[in-house]
Structure 1
Amino acid sequence: MNIEEKKTDLLSTFYFRHATKEFDPTKKISDENFRFILEAGRLSPSSGGNEPWKFLIVQSPEFRKELAPHVTGAARSLPTSSHFVIILARKGLTHDSSYILEQLTQVKGMPIEVYKSMEQAYAQFYEDLHLNSERELLDWSSKSTYLAMGNMMTAAAHIGIDSCPIEGFDMDAVNELLDNKGLLGNDEFGLSVMTAFGYRSKEPKRPKTRRPMEEIVQFV
């Protein structure tokens, strides 16, 4: 496949994708295909290379029923989707947190002496971003989870699988539910966003619409 064919293929993926509000409950994503979608999330970029996410795959019908009253934005997609994903964001990622030390030295292979020599630069990075409170740190992690979600949705669309990003939920109520089930670790994570995956029950009523390129792009 040459470059022009690759561009056409990728753009066709974006034209195919739309926010699917209701799925065909009789059609299920294969384990192999969903693993592909998860891999797209795992390989996503994140600020600082921190990978500040965790993906909860809610397949239990009982769990979905418990979740439903708190997720009004998924009234139709939660019960019909093949796979329903809650994306968590890691909390408290300061430059000197144990997780960051492990991520840089164990996962990314940075020698400990290099980390120590760069510690002040990392501290300045956090200061420049004004990450001074728990909420600001969680919001920063959440921004990276949206990159992962976007890649997962694109990967799904690329193989003919539909999706819908979901923000219509009661943050406190869902966090409490997840915490009661022991799914937030030792207060390590907080809810960020949700995504439903499956196969559309019907075709979109109209083709994809967007503002023209000239309105949204400015070269300076």
Structure 2
Amino acid sequence: MEKNLSQQFKEEIKLKNNDFKDIVFNRRSIKSFDSNVKISHEEMHEIIESAAKAPSSVNMQPWRFVVVESKEGKEKLRPLIRFNTNQNDTSSAMIIIFGDMKCYEKAEKIYGKAVEKDLMPENVKKELMNFFMPAYENATREKMNDIVKIDSSLSAMQLMLVARSHGYDTNAIGGFEEDKLAEAFELDPERYVPVVIIAIGKGNKTSYESVRLDVEDIISFK
């Protein structure tokens, strides 16, 4: 069977870094990038596809990615990100991660695909759908907001680590105009809530190493 372009690209990709410890422990927040470095759509597709392997509540995958890379897109984003304009101006792209408050509408597609691939029996699919769908459909906005933001944050962290394995640097940005972001990019603000923006590109400045609280300060055993 002839391979599609996506499969061929995956096989051709050579990760710049496959050292788990280096990827995790030497990741830094980079706020200035080489503006001449552009990430291709094919590689961005691969990075986000890998990030989307993150876990989510009942596998509803509520994350939605808007990759802002064009001059026009960045100009639209610039006034909405407060003191983070340098990342916007120099990065290869600004990836806005939204949480879909109606992510459960894709439940049939997700679980149906699992059945098609023989990963789940049809009767188990029906049981799961009957169990969680009413809970999601009847959840308060506050509850759904918590669900989609927690799940989308997991994909954001995974995206930053995957990006590092591709040789890119990132900066997670939480300072933005939450009430204006979705509408600015033609999304329904009632349905799509902004979670985080990830600046991605090739860093051109050395970052400072940061410190963390001692484990004794953050752990307890009961």
Q: Normalising by structure 1, report the TM-score.
A: 0.78
| Residues 146-195 of structure 1: CA deviation (Å, up to 9, x unaligned) | 1111011011123331101111111111122123xxx449x653322211
Give 2:144's match in structure 1, choosing from 137, 153, 166: 137
The residue matched to 1:72 in structure 2 has which SS? coil
Give 1:210's match in structure 2, choosing from 191, 209, 212: 212
Q: Which runs of 5+ in 2 are unaligned?
A: 1-17
Q: In structure 1, what is the Cα distance between the partners aligned to 2:127 and 2:92?
A: 48
1:158–1:119 Cα change, 3 Å: closer
1:40–1:148: 8 Å Cα contact kept in structure 2? no
Q: In structure 1, what is the Cα distance between the partners aligned to 2:179 and 2:78?
A: 14
| Residues 105-145 of structure 1: CA deviation (Å, up to 9, x unaligned) | x2322555434434553268659xxx732242133112111
Q: In structure 2, what is the Cα distance between the partners aligned to 1:34 and 1:119?
A: 32
| Residues 67-108 of structure 1: CA deviation (Å, up to 9, x unaligned) | 111111421101110121111211134xxx54223322x232
Give 1:178's match in structure 2, choosing from 143, 165, 185: 185
Aligned Cα RMSD in Å? 2.8
Give 2:61's match in structure 1, choosing from 51, 55, 66: 51
Q: Percent same amino acid at aligned positions?
A: 26
- One-letter identity of the residue aligned with 2:68: V
The residue matched to 1:156 in structure 2 has which SS? helix
1:31–1:178 Cα change, 3 Å: closer
Q: Aligned-pair distance for 1:65? A: 0.6
Residue of structure 2 equivalent to 1:152: 159
Q: Compare 75-84 and 113-122 and name the one that shifted more.
A: 113-122
Q: In structure 2, what is the Cα distance between the partners aligned to 1:214 and 1:59?
A: 42
Alignment of 1:71-220 (within 5 A): 71-93=81-103, 97-104=104-111, 106-109=112-115, 110-119=120-129, 121-122=131-132, 132-179=139-186, 183-184=187-188, 188-204=191-207, 206-220=208-222
Q: Compare 155-164 and 110-119 and name the one that shifted more.
A: 110-119
Give 1:9's match in structure 2, choosing from 19, 28, 34: 19
- One-letter identity of the residue aligned with 1:145: S
Q: In structure 2, what is the Cα distance between the partners aligned to 1:219 and 1:32?
A: 46
Q: In structure 1, what is the Cα distance between the partners aligned to 2:188 and 2:147?
A: 18
Q: Normalising by structure 2, report the TM-score.
A: 0.77
Give 2:39's match in structure 1, choosing from 29, 33, 39: 29
Q: Aligned-pair distance for 1:199? A: 1.3
1:175–1:34 Cα change, 3 Å: closer
Q: Aligned-pair distance for 1:217? A: 3.0
Say how many residue pairs are matched. Answer: 201
